[in-house]
Amino acid sequence: MFRDFTDNDTSTDIGIVTSGVWQDGASSITTFFSSSTQYTNTGDYNVDVYRYNPGTNASASVQFGVVYGHSQGSGSLGLKGAAGDRTTAAIFGQLNNLINPPQTTTFTFQNNTTSKQVYAIVLNRARMREAIEPGGWEIHLSASFQNGTPSGTKIKLIDDSSTNNGGNTFQRNFAPEYNVVSGTLIGGTTIKTAASAEDSTQGSYGTFYPSLGVILLNPERLSGAGLHLITNSGSNADNRNNRKLFDCIVGGGYFQMKRKEEITSQHYFVRATANQFNATTNESFYTESVAGVKKVIAGLATDPKTYITSVGLYNEDSELLAIAKLSQPILKSTSREALIKVKLDF
């Protein structure tokens, strides 16, 4: 027996759901690993970062990537210029084409500071899904073990979405854009230094693009007071600056991030009235067949009773599309009605 839904039987609502982006649904991680195989093969382009050691844990998966780009290809090997093959130039070009409008050759940070080089933390699309939640991430960086010697202190970075309503007004390919600033989410959002108050020579720490899952970091600012990250940009030199930022992430030992998704929920109100769904094809409803004819068990013929255990949703061609399972059977009879709400999330 089928029952059609009417407009009064369905409703739709849309909500925002936030969750941790990291493996196993974690919202923060404190350990970071790289793959020696990946670093050997493509480490001049990027460093893949894992939550678990891929060498000992078969379930370890990439959480994000760390890259460094330079408009002229400095900090990497190869030829320079339009016909060049320097990896840092390729990285810079990819980020520039993705984020900046045409004819742009530099990245602009707060206080109109421009840079021909940039670091980036890039989230896997499978991890971020729809977007990273503005105001939902914090990363700690420390260059304390850079080049084997103590250097700098730990800095804590977040975005300024809590005070920068609507994001920056720079012309970008993707909006919104927020500034990366010093601060913390622990104990409530606290911005230590606003992007507009940063040094006018070095500029702000960077910019953040929620819909891209990209955090751009300004090498000039990271080299300044606090972190003292040494970025080398030698000509035709394999400086592997991406590895230096990865080491800073390992030294910082903390990365919190949440994603947000728009979930559309369709509600179906399934009504079983008094005279509906009081029979079943279940064998327990019948006695043994006589001459191939099944008979309803005595008593159920005059006072039928069934137990609802699931609800099937069908299309116009009577094809089963979804099944909703009940946590426990519901008794149904001519003296009992049932109202079951089925919720589908998309």
**Backbone angles phi and psi of 343, in degrees to 5:** -120, 125
- What is the reported pLDDT for 60? 96
Specify whether the CB–CB gap between 238 and 152 falls below 8 A: no
**Domain membership flag for residue 70:** yes
Q: Give pLDDT tens digits for 112-133.
A: 789 999 999 999 888 998 999 9
Q: Give Dmax over CA atoms of the chain in angstroms.
A: 96
Region of poorest pLDDT, from 180-184, 224-228, 243-247: 224-228
Helix (H, G, I), strand (E, B) or coil at 198: coil
Instruction: Look at residues 190, 224, 253 and tell me which one is the last residue of a structural domain.
Output: 253
Q: Are 301 and 244 in a shared domain?
A: no
Residues 270, 243 share a domain: no
Q: Is the pLDDT of residue 85 over 90?
A: no
Residues 96 and 41 in one domain: yes
Q: Are residues 204 and 112 in the same domain?
A: yes
Structural domain includes residue 2: no
Instruction: Verify that 231 and 306 share a domain, yes or no.
Output: no
Q: Residue 323: which pLDDT band, with cuts at 50, 70 and 90?
A: very high
The DSSP line for 158-193 is EE-TTTSTT---S--SSS--EEEEEEE-TTS-EEEE
Residues in the chain: 346
Mean pLDDT value across residues 127-156 = 82
Please compute the mean of the pLDDT values over residues 262-271 and round it to a whole number.
Answer: 93
Average pLDDT over residues 219-240: 85
Q: Are residues 242 and 169 in the same domain?
A: yes
Contact 30, 257 (CB under 8 A): no
Looking at the structure, tell me whether residues 249 and 291 fall in a common domain: no
Query: Is there a single domain that holds both residue 270 and residue 333?
Result: yes
CA proximity to 15, closest of 340, 298, 271, 260: 260
Does residue 305 sit within a domain?
yes
Domain count, the chain: 2
Residue 146 pLDDT > 60, yes or no? Answer: no
The pLDDT tens digits for 273-309 are 998 888 777 777 777 666 667 777 766 777 788 889 9
pLDDT of residue 52: 97
Identify residue 341 by its one-letter amino acid code: K
Indicate whether 25 belongs to any domain: no
User: Considering only CA atoms, which of 288, 253, 30, 269 is closest in space to residue 143?
Assistant: 253
The residue from 228, 253, 278 where one domain ends is 253
Residue 301 belongs to a domain: yes
Residue 19 lies in a domain: no
Among residues 253, 279, 307, the one where a domain terminates is 253
pTM listed for this prediction: 0.77
What average pLDDT does the structure give for the chain?
88
> In this predicted structure, what is the pLDDT of residue 84?
67
CB 276 within 8 A of CB 306: no
SS3 10: strand
Considering the domain architecture, whether residues 41 and 170 belong to the same structural domain is answered as yes
Q: Are residues 272 and 247 in the same domain?
A: no
Does residue 175 lie within any of the structural domains?
A: yes
- Whether 21 is in a domain gets the answer no
Full residue range of the structural domain in which residue 297 is found? 7-14+263-345
209 and 288 share one domain: no
285 in Cβ contact with 279 (< 8 Å): yes
* pLDDT greater than 60 at residue 150: no
Give CA 294 to chain center in angstroms.
56
Residue 176: asked if its preceding bond is cis (omega within 30°), the reply is yes
- Residue 292's pLDDT is 66
pLDDT, tens digit, for every residue of 6-17?
Answer: 999 999 999 888
Residue 1 pLDDT greater than 80, yes or no: no
Say whether both 117 and 248 belong to one domain: yes
